[in-house]
Chains A and B, each alone.
Chain A
Amino acid sequence: MRLIARFARENKDNFEIIDVFEQEIKKTQIDKKNPSVKTITDIYPAAIWMERKIKDEFGINFEDSFDERPLIKHEKFPKNIYPMRKNFTQKNIEFSEFEPYQYEEVKGEGVFYVPVGPIHAGIIEPGHFQFSQAGEDMLHIEVRHFYKYRAIEKMCENKTPLEIKKIVERISGNESIAYQICFFDILHQASEIEQSETYKRKTAILLEMERIINHLNDLGFIPNDTGFSPALAFMSQLAEDARRVLAKVTGHRFGFGAINEEMNYDFKPVFEFLNYLEEKMNFFENWIIDIPSLWDRFDTTGTLTKEKAVKYGVVGVGARSSGIKIDRRDNEWYKLHGFEIQLGKKGEVSDRFLQRIKEIKNSIEIIRNCKINNENKKIEFNYFKDGEYYSFTESSIGELFMYINIKNGLIDRFYVRDPSHINWQAFHTCIYKDIIADFPLINKSFDLSYAGNDL
């Protein structure tokens, strides 16, 4: 049974822990006076970040947990406050005394540490990595994030569903469309409207376009990290072309606001772009396969074994390139529109690289099969029924999970588990055979989000 998410919410009389597994959802009630519950990290190691997050947010204690350090509360963050509790309504808190964070480190003679971040050398998001090194060899890495923690979940509380639309669009710029689709799926459920075939096709096209853009960018950046910059020049150009097509159709280069009640789009530029893209992709593939020095760096690097990937519940490109069949598009509707699950074998950087090429090709196929007729029906959300709603979307990074609890027409609890939240945790398992110079390569081959992870 794969663990998807573990999160808490506050009810009137108690706290509730909700465990979302692939097949079922479990709920545990906890006493408010002495909130404590047993950890599940002995079976699901990836639950540790979720539990530490709950502890920081709600002050719920996890018995027998192997890691009790704060997660979202950094050095100067006040430790004695529990901001996700309902009675916490402060908009401003003061910095508290600096309290150093204890890093996981490998100790021994000649072992030294390399801290990287939170501000990195390139133009990327802030996050921190601490390496334990013996010479060039990586012995261990601790990934520490949540520098970008904006408290989105709290921000969305006590608002009507439509009021948070703009916030949801901007949780993570790279996955904006996936977030919007997830959110609109919940809106559909809550107002008991069936999604029309046209709506499904339109969202599928936009989602695949987003996937194509992100994959194209990665296909440039991964070779660039080995020092092979022509690939970046080639691919960043193609990614820009794709982004302009998206802007032409939706009016926004990242598709912010692309999913809405009307969606009266002319998809002609997308269909025209596909032939050009296909031709370029074929050229790129033939060319890149031919460069031995590149594959020398890609092969046997950053191996995420199938066993480890299953243990951590890894999702997305990371999982599929290790041979695990996880894809939220793996359903009747998508199969009917040409979706075929793409799998790799060994989970190396080379597998993840080729995986992206395969997925782009499949995305082209899916878009081609989503023929849009001119029928355009406005969606009308007349009411939102109270209740709990769950939704999943396959973003370009992996499976995205969203939970919304509506109470008296307002959002009582908003929770999102970004695919990165799981995948970042499996990161340390795939670096042991490699040297530190390979790290940027491995990092980019997963291409995880910081903003979505930190929320």
Chain B
Amino acid sequence: MLRFWKERFKRGIVTENIEIDKELETLRKNLKDKIKKLFAGSLGIRMVDSGSCNACETECNALSNPYYDLERLGIHFVASPRHADVLFVSGVMTMNMYHHVWDAYNQVPNPKWVITLGDCTKDLGIFEKTYAIKGIDLKVDYHIPGCPPTPKDIIKGLIEFLEKIETESKN
């Protein structure tokens, strides 16, 4: 274990302020303030896969790695829709997942928002409509494009989403 701590101190903090961090630096305070104001300091996201290829999920998992470390901004992926403010949906919404996705949606307490992730959620991306695909018919508040969207795209998307709902709340 000692060996690990040695390495740990040698390496220091790796959290990158990625490329967007120049923007982020100014945005970050705003973002934290916004989350503080709108979501009492913590924004809970429940991710539901409605029939993707797993790339979108892998990228969301990557958001927790030391480079991105999303939790530092007060954004958490939660284990139950009942703990969530936002529902992330990825994939084409298959026949077999349809009712389960709606079930998860109904379990999210109000007020709630839906963010779709990846090209599949919009016009199925490169896939074609088959009998096994129903397509997403939830009311979508924000869409993050990409196949799959990179962690950077997702963070940017979240910032824009927060800006959007803030302006809406002002009006």
Residues of A whose CB lies within 8 Å of any CB of B are 72, 74, 76-77, 81, 83, 88, 90-93, 95, 118-119, 121-126, 146-151, 154-155, 166-167, 170-174, 176, 217, 230, 233, 236-237, 239-240, 243, 253-254, 256, 283, 286-287, 290-291, 449-451
Contact = CB atoms under 8 A, between A and B. Distances in A.
Contact of A126 (B1, B100, B125, B127): B100
Main SS at interface, chain A = loop
Contact of B65 (A92, A176, A236): A236
Contacts of B77: 123
A450 B51 CA distance: 10
B131 interface: yes
Nearest to A77: B95
B43 interface: no
15 contacts: A72-B132, A76-B95, A83-B132, A121-B80, A125-B52, A147-B96, A149-B96, A151-B132, A170-B125, A170-B147, A173-B58, A217-B58, A237-B14, A287-B1, A290-B1
B164 interface: no
Contacts of B59: 253
A349 B64 CA distance: 25
A283 B54 contact: no
Interface residues of B, number: 50
A93 B131 contact: yes
Contacts of A253: 59, 148, 150
A94 to B, nearest CB: 10
Interface string B29-56: 0000000000000000001111111111
Contacts of A91: 129-131
A146 to B, nearest CB: 6
A126 B62 contact: no
A171 B92 CA distance: 12
A173 B48 CA distance: 16
Given A83-B131, A173-B54, A254-B55, A283 B94 contact: no
Contacts of B51: 147-150, 451
A233 B58 CA distance: 15
B67 A74 contact: no
Nearest to A221: B61
Contact of B94 (A148, A154, A170): A148
